[in-house]
Amino acid sequence: MNAESKKPRIFIDKNGNWFQDGLKITHRWTYLENNRNLDIDEDGSFFVDEGRGRVYVEVEDTPFVVKMVNKTDNKYFAVLNDESVEELLPANITVCSGNVPYTTVKSNRFKARFTSRAYYEIAKHIIQEEDGFYITTKDGNIKISMEEGLI
């Protein structure tokens, strides 16, 4: 595949907003359909398969964003920018430079950045101990991974 055919026409900003040819995608169905059809090729490039071929996507940070976190008695759930809800596994949360938390979503295929609102919700369940930060769960406390740089 030549470099010109991989030139991104779609851009996803760090807040999960999609833009095509510089214009924000505001049509809900188009936005949701693009999220649903987002994939990664063998080179690690993001694309949307529109049926007639791939449209490559440039991603500022992560393609998915955790907009909200809800907790039931036993589990945490992440509400994503594509309106889906997934179980949020505390063991998959990593805090990177700038104290920005991330997790994996979509069967661990993609990274997702937490919004401030989602971070504040999960922070209600974080405790600090001598050796780090933990999220409380019904099975005990799970340590949050802290990394330098972006995931």
pLDDT of residue 150: 36
Q: Is 14 in the same domain as 87?
A: no
Q: Is 27 in the same domain as 46?
A: yes
CA distance 60 to 36: 18
User: What does the pLDDT look like over 38-57, one tens digit per residue?
Assistant: 999 989 999 998 788 899 99
User: What does the pLDDT look like over 101-142, one tens digit per residue?
Assistant: 999 999 999 999 999 999 999 999 999 998 888 998 888 889
Q: How confident is the model at residue 148 (pLDDT cuts 50, 70, 90)?
A: low
Q: Is 106 in the same domain as 52?
A: no
Contacts of 120 (CB under 8 A, 6+ apart): none
Taking CA atoms, 59 is separated from 5, 64, 105, 136, 146, in Å, by 17, 10, 16, 32, 23
Q: Tokens at residue 95, please? A: 């805090």
pLDDT of residue 50: 79
Q: Is 30 in the same domain as 80?
A: no
What residue numbers bound the domain in which 52 lies? 4-59
User: What does the pLDDT look like over 62-100, one tens digit per residue?
Assistant: 999 999 999 988 899 999 999 999 999 999 999 987 888
Nearest CA-CA partner of 64 in 81, 83, 43, 41: 81
CB atoms within 10 A of CB 151: 15
Instruction: Compute the average pLDDT of residues 20-39.
Output: 94
